[in-house]
Structure 1
């Protein structure tokens, strides 16, 4: 009887201890999930990827890439997943780019990490482009550099009045990578060359008008749009496109506003048709208009080496496939950094 009591007490104690351990683990899991840099969730008919570093404008790091890529591939093959949504946490940014601070800090101390970052980021860019499931990026807020790579190669890109697009790499001694050499020269006229060399920022509906976004939605309707997409029942690509088009059509914000660069496009096409950076600079000087001189001032602040690399990158990329461009850009990235 005494032994049974001891066993019973021990059992209850172990059970209680086990319960506490489980509860503690669940609390930790909950905390870890809340603090996770990227959230990967199945919701309704979709796989939802949330970049979860709002304090850092959802800047992309290697750990995030290594979590997103295999999940994207898994959902791509899952018959119960009909679409994939990519979005950023918070109101300020979709993704402001790669985490430059971490990359620069590791260039000398951990070069392999830097190599892995670029290689795996570009692999993810290519996976988004070739994704077999409809891929929707909600590019609300700041969308620059690496954030462009996570969105522009997808089938659907939804901008809002708070979207801010830019490829500012020539200012930091780099070039507009993540497939910039593919999508930028394919924008209207020489717009992509202008955006790449000057780092010019497009805001709101201009992101759609430029061809970077496929749809434009009022930011206050973004949550409703997502709910409607998640509620679809075994949707086809056309069903998804219909929902996006409905919201796009109903959006009235800046509907009648002309494209910010519209009055300058003829000149931009002329200036940036030159085959060298020197000729572009000469074109701007000869024009002498306030807009031309403003762009000249901007270009003169950029890294001269980056300007030359970027112009050549876009000229080469205009006739290459995306995988070919990403291979080229990986080699360029390593040459620029090391």
Structure 2
């Protein structure tokens, strides 16, 4: 081997080493950053979890999902921990959803990240639903997507005047997951179908009125509420409910304001009771009221594939257990990652922010029943297991 070749090899090796060292540093800095993404502490009788990514509205990443899950399991077994409180840092958001930008980038780079992320997120949603101790989510601020998944399945959910609830997934080529197929069709009338297809935002006391939250408390009183909860001595579920009930009863904010959709509920129930998205659209056109036409405009901007998946998913989910729904959602999530619309939605809404996604297929008519069936197909040995 000539000297020149040896020299070239050494050069390549040193640049390879340099790259490796840089990557290692990046990984380490990412890890130390990640270590602060969620803060876990024992306070009095309670385990307290703080989602700590305020600049990203506390978006949920894989590291946080894993930390919440393992800590929940520990606290469930710990005789000194009587309840768990979960809240968001920064005052603006509880949790605005999963870190979908990270998800899209990893999937495009052909990493297996999406398989792991959704699997662990849905297993966590189920663990919260079956948690044996009072679990209290303080939904003070934006609570959307993945943030709904770590709150709505808990025993107690506290909304404030700053709460904003939405499942806006059809706008980014996804579907309302994290158990959306379970809790949405169980809301009053056809409200859940309406929320799922349009991504409509519910705010403040309305989040409690529809049953997403179990209690409503003034945002300014959240600190005091938490202090009273952690100060309880060996509390039962009833003791926790009594403290929350007292704060709820004392709250007067927006008490006399009527539910924002109250006058539209008859329209929602009749228009959204159809079994196909095409029929829902026809119902809205025939209704012709300003409200119906506004919803029509919104729906027409959504991914046609997402709309069809979402409706079928809610109809199926209305008679399934939460675990069955999460299994179905896992199949859908993997199909969406393989498809076009999710990555296009993330590009249009989050990356380039031009807000004009080019959906493929572009019309409802082009999304066939066969296409739909493929989204719901079993993944065999890769199916979600609890």
TM-score higher than 0.5: yes
Aligned twin of 1:248? 248
Describe the shift of the 1:35–1:65 C-alpha distance in structure 2 as closer, same or farther (beyond 3 A): closer
Distance 1:175 1:322 in 2: 16
Q: Write the deviation string for residues 125-174 of structure 1: whole angstroms up to 9, x where unpaired.
A: 00000000100000010000000000000000000000000000000000
Change (3 A) 1:149 1:78: same
Alpha-carbon separation, structure 2, partners of 1:149 and 1:221? 24
Task: Determine the structure 1 residue equivalent to 2:63.
Answer: 63
Partner of 1:308: 308
Match of 1:137 in 2: 137
SS in 1 for 2:175: coil
Take 2:34 and 2:294, find their aligned partners in 1: how far apart are those partners?
Answer: 45
Q: 1:1-338, aligned counterparts within 5 Å?
A: 36-338=36-338
Distance 1:69 1:270, change over 3 A: same
Cα separation, 1, equivalents of 2:243 and 2:251: 13
In the superposition, the TM-score normalised over structure 2's length comes to 0.79
- TM-score normalised to the size of structure 1? 0.90
For residues 96 and 186 of structure 2, the distance between their equivalents in structure 1, rounded to whole angstroms, comes to: 23
Q: 1:290 to 1:150 in 2, by over 3 A?
A: same
State how far apart, in whole Å, the 2-side matches of 1:213 and 1:111 are: 36
1:111 shift after superposition: 2.9
| 2:3 corresponds to | none
Structure 1, unaligned runs of 5 or more? 1-31
Asked if the contact 1:33–1:39 (Cα under 8 Å) also holds between the matched residues in 2, the reply is no
Distance, in Å, in 2 between the alignment partners of 1:98 and 1:241 is 29
Cα distance between partner residues in 1 of 2:148 and 2:251: 23
Q: What whole-Å deviation, never above 9, does each CA across 1:155-203 have from its counterpart, x for those lacking one?
A: 0000000000000000000000000000000000000000000000000
Q: CA deviation at 1:112?
A: 1.4
1:264-316 CA-partner distances (Å, limit 9, x unpaired): 00110000100000000000000000000000000000001100000000000
- Deviation of 1:113 after TM superposition, in Å, equals 1.4
Q: Can you list the C-alpha shifts for 1:69-105, whole angstroms capped at 9, x where unaligned?
A: 0110110111110000010001110000000110011
What's the offset of the Cα at 1:35? Answer: 6.5
Aligned to 2:354: none
Q: CA deviation at 1:117?
A: 0.4
SS of match in other structure, 1:41: strand
CA RMSD of aligned residues (A): 1.3
Q: How many residues end up aligned between the 2 structures?
A: 308
Divergent runs of 4+, >2 A = 32-35
What SS does structure 1 have at the residue aligned with 2:259?
coil
Q: CA deviation at 1:33?
A: 8.8
Taking the aligned partners of 1:107 and 1:117, their CA distance within structure 2 comes to 11
In structure 2, stretches of 5+ residues that fail to align are: 1-31, 339-386
User: Are the equivalent residues in 1 in contact too, given 2:107–2:114 (CA < 8 A)?
Assistant: yes
Contact 1:46 1:83 in 2 (8 A): yes
Tell me the distance in 2 between the aligned counterparts of 1:101 and 1:284.
33
> Against the structure 1 CA distance between its residues 268 and 171, is the aligned structure 2 distance closer, same or farther, given a 3 Å change threshold?
same
